[in-house]
Amino acid sequence: MNPVTHEDLVKIKEEVNSKVSKNWISVGLSTCGIAAGAQDTFFALKNEARLRKLPFEVRRSGCAGVCAQEPLVVVAAEGMPVVTYGKLTKDKVKRLFDEHIIGKKVLSDLALNTHDPKQMRIVLRNCGEIDPESIRDYVARDGYFALSKVLKGYTPEQVNEEMKVSGLRGRGGAGFPTGIKWEITRKVEADQKYIICNGDEGDPGAYMDRGVLEGDPHSVIEGLAIGGYGIGATRGFFYIRAEYPLAIERIEKALKQAYLYGLLGKNILGSGFSFDIEIRLGAGAFVCGEETALIASIEGRRGYPHPRPPYPSVKGLWGKPTCINNVETLANIPVIFLKGGPWFAGIGHEKSKGTKVFALTGKVEKSGLVEVPMGTTLREIVFDIGGGAAKGKKVKAIQTGGPSGGVIPSEHFDTPVSYENLQKLGSIMGSGGMIVMDEDDSMVDIAKFYLGFCVDESCGKCAPCRIGGKQMLGYLEKITEGRGEPEDLDKLRKISHTMQKASLCGLGQTAPNPVLSTLRYFENEYKEKMAHKAVAAS
């Protein structure tokens, strides 16, 4: 196949959009859907359409975010409104054909209202909408038009400028401005530069990046290619955790298609810009998501972090300037260039621009992936979108930012979401995990869980993290087993501060956060556990 031109992209878009059939059924086939039986539903739907000799195209899509309702099926039948059905397991397929397709009646007990006015989909714009394994589907929704626009009309300096105007900040945790990171890397002179997509996603409860990689892989590839052009890199890497086999498979397929279309490789869209992407797998160590450890891992060394500076932007992969960006960060890029930096900067709250995807899980009625403009309050996310606590319980707090974050009690839920606001509350935005806890949850147990995770995942290279984490865990075990003493709380605080100041990387520096935030808001729960000891002894 000849490499495509911009005109070819326009033609493909017109062709795909003009051929959309009036009768189709799409099934969410991402990890969450497959786990709920969506693959069986998919084959049952195909089989039923064939047996009944009905001209229905049964297609695959990614995760639409409504994970609690999987298997999710969208049905478009001539003369009927497009309807989304939840929990459509294979045993309900015959009924769907009898009642909806033949009987022209909506199955009201299974139909969902998926339109949520509080949500805004930039990152998840195509997830659940297109077949993630079809580059033509992606092109039909303006895919690769941003790359074409950039290569035709922007210098790398202008790319950096547009990104700075957009105000996009890294979604991998630290919230560093993406445009500035790109500019720093561009300005370093070197014969070779690299850009890496960080798809290691190790926070417990977080699966935003998996959703995007599985549901819209080309958007991340396009973002990575634009980033490569913007910093002067000719090689890019996906670093994806090996526990995400479907994400890896979909990225592999998408890369093959992008090469086939000439949207990767030499002289992309006739611009003279050449860019190659390879995949590397992370093998299950949380610390390998930290950028310096990630680089060591790609180089084939043990995934140990090293002190910064030098930052990867100056001295990264194989000693060359390297920019590392998170999956969600990159998925924003094509839209920023299609609609403009000022458009993006117009969405959000103060210094936090655009939207944020959260994996809303835990004791919440409607768990799933939600994407909201920055500035949406925590209450709107947990109650209006998430439906509040499951089983009629009371929401006590949420945990954001994973093992580096903290808990936020419900009395602070009117806070608008922003990097700064969450930090003021003693937590962080992190990568987007948001776990809801109800009245039955013990905050001391929550702190112990996260600290235990960090102790397990500590690489052991630096003493503050290796020893401090273990000591803290020892105190938490003592307290939860009813052996705690009042001075243990001071000891926990002291070790926390040492770890924050002296640890080598973000893992050790932030590991005490869940303990400190639970102590800040729920010290009474620690004291109650200690009081048990006093009662038992008397």
- Site residues (vs ligand FMN, CB under 6 A): 170-174, 176, 198, 200-202, 286-287, 289-291, 324-326, 329, 431, 505-507
Least distance to ligand FMN from the beta carbon of 325, Å? Answer: 4
Least distance to ligand FMN from the beta carbon of 287, Å? Answer: 5
Nearer to ligand FMN, 61 or 322 (CB): 322
Least Cα distance to 405 among 375, 426, 379, 435 occurs for: 426
Strand-pairing partners, residue 416, are 377
Nearer to ligand FMN, 174 or 260 (CB): 174
Least distance to ligand FMN from the beta carbon of 430, Å? Answer: 9
Nearer to ligand FMN, 313 or 376 (CB): 313
Nearer to ligand FMN, 320 or 396 (CB): 320
Least distance to ligand FMN from the beta carbon of 201, Å? Answer: 5
| First CA to last CA distance, the chain | 83
Least distance to ligand FMN from the beta carbon of 480, Å? Answer: 25
Least distance to ligand FMN from the beta carbon of 326, Å? Answer: 3
Least distance to ligand FMN from the beta carbon of 39, Å? Answer: 27
CA distance 312 to 316: 4
DSSP string across 472-528? HHHHHHHHHTT---THHHHHHHHHHHHHHHH-SSHHHHHTTHHHHHHHHHHHHHHHH
Which pair of structure tokens corresponds to residue 179? 């445009």
Biggest CA pair distance of the chain: 84
Nearer to ligand FMN, 41 or 322 (CB): 322
DSSP string across 380-428? IIIIIIT-SBGGGPPEEEEEESGGG-EEEEGGGTTSBP-HHHHHHTT--
Least distance to ligand FMN from the beta carbon of 279, Å? Answer: 15
Left if phi > 0, otherwise alpha if psi is -120 to 50, otherwise beta: which for 104?
left
Nearer to ligand FMN, 200 or 222 (CB): 200
Please write down the long-range contacts of 13-16, taking CB distance under 8 Å and 24 or more positions apart. Answer: 13/139, 13/140, 13/142, 15/136, 16/136, 16/137, 16/139, 16/140
CA distance 358 to 55: 38
CA distance 111 to 105: 11
Nearer to ligand FMN, 33 or 223 (CB): 223
HSE-CB of 312 using CA atoms within 13 angstroms: 23
Is 225 within 8 Å of 150 (Cβ atoms)?
no
Least distance to ligand FMN from the beta carbon of 211, Å? Answer: 14
Nearer to ligand FMN, 294 or 479 (CB): 294
Least distance to ligand FMN from the beta carbon of 217, Å? Answer: 16
Nearer to ligand FMN, 290 or 525 (CB): 290
Residue with tokens 């776990």, as numbered in its chain = 435
124: exposed, middle or buried (Cβ count in 10 Å: 0-12, 13-18, 19+): buried
List C-alpha distances in Å: 182 to 12, 162, 163, 197, 232. 31, 11, 9, 13, 9
Nearer to ligand FMN, 174 or 188 (CB): 174
Which pair of structure tokens corresponds to residue 491? 């000891």
Nearer to ligand FMN, 41 or 503 (CB): 503
Least distance to ligand FMN from the beta carbon of 207, Å? Answer: 11
Is 366 within 8 Å of 254 (Cβ atoms)?
no
Nearer to ligand FMN, 71 or 179 (CB): 179
Nearer to ligand FMN, 163 or 476 (CB): 163
Query: For residue 22, which amino acid is it?
Result: K
Least distance to ligand FMN from the beta carbon of 528, Å? Answer: 32
Which pair of structure tokens corresponds to residue 18? 């003009």
Least distance to ligand FMN from the beta carbon of 338, Å? Answer: 19
CA distance 286 to 453: 9
Question: Phi and psi (nearest 5°) for 534?
Answer: -60, -40
